[in-house]
Chains A and B, each alone.
Chain A
């Protein structure tokens, strides 16, 4: 029955072609494995392209005191010690090599006067650590990997959406999806599959994420039996645009603050003096986002419900050179000249720290044959990610997942796929056509986003979270009726959204349930009813897994690494003595 569908067979199939997916694919194909890279959009358009400020790596080009130990400590402190210690260690140790490697593949970073890679300051980083290219570092990263990858014999499948992982017993052996262009179905057989699908921002109303951020990997992994970890930790980036309405949430890079930008309220006060007098604007993102939110809520916000961010004191020439896309973005979209006047900014859903639980060294999930890397995984960033640690995460763990999946595939028998699974996956997709009493997928999506924004957003409390979970059950009922008109399968965005909604509903429920369980405030999770740190929760992650039709939610003790304990203790002591 399988021959009914277009079928491709590979050693490793990588789902997602942002930084992590591309880096994994490069590693696999370099090892001689037949590698597929599947992207929902065109190659080179993934959300990585939006990363602006830089890539964190202790190169010590600008401040010679920097070293992996300090980067590790900064990452752990930023994540409020809930991070996977081993991941934070590998990340700090290996990111300099990944940056240098990128340069050898053709990336052209901004330079120091000595001709080395320039590094800039960023929130939560002790030293100037972010290698960057103006404010378009993500574009440089993805283009470099893309140009490297296409010459390595990777089979790239563009505008193809995966809707289901296919299994042979316990083992993942492939994936099922559709071509956006013509709506036809396609089956990928693989000895190993890597999820690198990115984030979940589209669960929220105000987000910096593109349409692709629909929690695909989180949901596919969950459905296939993988565990999710730290799902309550959602990063609201402090500075998104707040006006005009069409661009609300669009990212304003942290590099503005890294280059000296100052935050003020409508009274002209530099309010970060109140919330974090030591780090000021370069405090960690969770702190700055909550501070802005509080200023607005207490009536000291800007006209469009944000606060003011001013970089004009650095001079027009400097601003245009170091922050060119911000200059154009504000000039063209908001009629604001940032070299002369302040920007209006407010928090926007930017990143999820939580995701698929993986082995730090190999990216392996608990499901045989299934690996994951990048934003769709959890653990690396703990409860809050530092700016710049995402691009480095993609490269370090993209490569490691590539090695892990490659090793697994090299020793694995051929993949089998059961016809029944493929038929079920196909029936799911055709099921959205012409249902009676149709529900508009657009309407349900807006309702979900509004609910998540108001009840599971930047500040949370028990009542709201309980309501949110009840609402999600209601939305799941409504999801059963989402439909599009009979017929059109070619490039039909309404049809695509129907399926994306399922992923977002699963992910939203995981976020809400974990948020309800964590009775404390930490990093990207702030409870009005439990505003302080809690010792028990400071030692426990929340793990979510599929339990029949239900979602199992349980705390599990954070795994530490004995050799790293002195570094962590030293940082804790230093912070408490402040």
Chain B
């Protein structure tokens, strides 16, 4: 069994520093295993979020050797040679403690997006090919790595008027749902700050679910913004056909009246 040095950021909102820990390396080990070993052996109070340890819950996001990763699927044998492994918290969110950051901004943004609202009389007969794209976006495990690397958030901290890639694809999944009645394009243009994204694809690169965030989500949304706000022909057609009027919706679920 070989040893490897881990350099882990320890501290809180008032500051902190990197602390070195020796780790016994086992075959097939991932970074999260190393963090757990450090907790068991030398730092029982080392703070770290994790849940499933199977890349399904998106809790254990951190920056490993400078790369935003899920710790549970970053294998030590994929990290170069014998060098020390550096682990630090996501840069774009406020620190709580050690590797744990305050990601509550993401929950605030999600709440602003109007939920799925079925068309009146929707029969929910949908072909697989019509929902493939929506399903791709719904693979998102909310690890927030894309939010963390987006330069609008990371370098310019424009959280107050920007939804970020995670919520652009959330909006895309609703807009492309064959049975949804609402139009969230005005919101994503204005409040969501879609125009601030200049499609550098950093979000797509870090997505552990390999969602094509930029190509399949953000760019089609940008096209819809253009259609609705800047295409004179489309504007005239909508005026004539009345397609810009809101469509009637229904909430057929019956929750709460189940006596």
Question: Which A residues have a C-beta under 8 Å from some C-beta of B?
Answer: 26-27, 30-32, 41-47, 49-50, 100-101, 103-106, 108, 110-111, 114-116, 133-134, 136, 138-140, 143, 147-148, 150-151, 158, 181, 210-212, 243-247, 250-251, 325, 328-329, 332-334, 399, 403, 440-443, 446, 484-485, 488, 490-495
Contacts and interface: CB of A to CB of B under 8 A. Distances in A.
A329 B139 contact: no
B44 A26 contact: no
Interface stretch (B95-103, B156-164, B234-242): B95-103
Given A111-B128, A333-B75, A491-B97, A105 B44 contact: no
B28 A148 contact: no
Interface stretch (B50-58, B195-203, B223-231): B50-58
Given A44-B142, A147-B115, 16 more contacts: A30-B255, A31-B256, A41-B49, A42-B103, A103-B124, A105-B116, A108-B126, A115-B125, A136-B139, A151-B111, A151-B115, A181-B96, A246-B28, A246-B33, A403-B258, A485-B44
A147 B98 contact: no
Closest 7 CB pairs of A and B: A244-B28, A30-B256, A106-B116, A494-B44, A491-B47, A115-B125, A246-B33
B152 interface: no
Chain B interface, DSSP helix/strand/loop, else mixed: loop
Contacts of B50: 210-211
A365 to B, nearest CB: 21
Contact of A108 (B45, B48, B138): B138
B57 A45 contact: yes
A337 to B, nearest CB: 16
Contacts of A325: 55-56
A134 B126 CA distance: 16
B131 interface: yes
A143 B138 contact: yes
A147 B45 contact: no
Given A44-B142, A136-B139, A150 B111 contact: yes
Nearest to A49: B57
A41 B131 contact: no
In this complex, the member of B28, B46, B52 whose beta carbon has the largest number of chain A beta carbons within 10 angstroms is B52
Interface in B46-103: 46-59, 73, 75, 96-98, 100, 102-103
Contacts of B258: 27, 399, 403
A16 B15 CA distance: 33
Interface string B169-194: 00000100100100000000000000
A490 B12 contact: yes
Contacts of B153: none
Nearest to A182: B96
B39 A442 contact: yes
B45 A485 contact: yes
Contact of B255 (A27, A243, A332): A27
Given A41-B51, A151-B111, A210 B57 contact: yes
A38 to B, nearest CB: 15
B45 A105 contact: no
B190 to A, nearest CB: 20
Nearest to A241: B54
User: What class of interface size applies to chain B in its complex with A?
Assistant: 35 or more
Interface of B: 12, 26-30, 32-33, 39-40, 44-59, 73, 75, 96-98, 100, 102-104, 107, 110-111, 114-116, 118, 122, 124-128, 131, 134-135, 138-139, 141-142, 174, 177, 180, 252-253, 255-256, 258
In this complex, the member of A32, A115, A441, A492 whose beta carbon has the largest number of chain B beta carbons within 10 angstroms is A115
A490 B96 CA distance: 8
A484 B44 CA distance: 8
Contacts of A441: 44
Contact of B128 (A105, A110, A140): A110
B51 A106 contact: no
A132 to B, nearest CB: 11
Contacts of B134: 108
Contact of A133 (B27, B116, B135): B135
A245 B53 CA distance: 13
Contact of B57 (A50, A105, A116, A493): A50
A243 B28 contact: yes
Contacts of B57: 41, 45, 49-50, 210
B26 to A, nearest CB: 5
Contact of B252 (A26, A43, A104, A211): A104
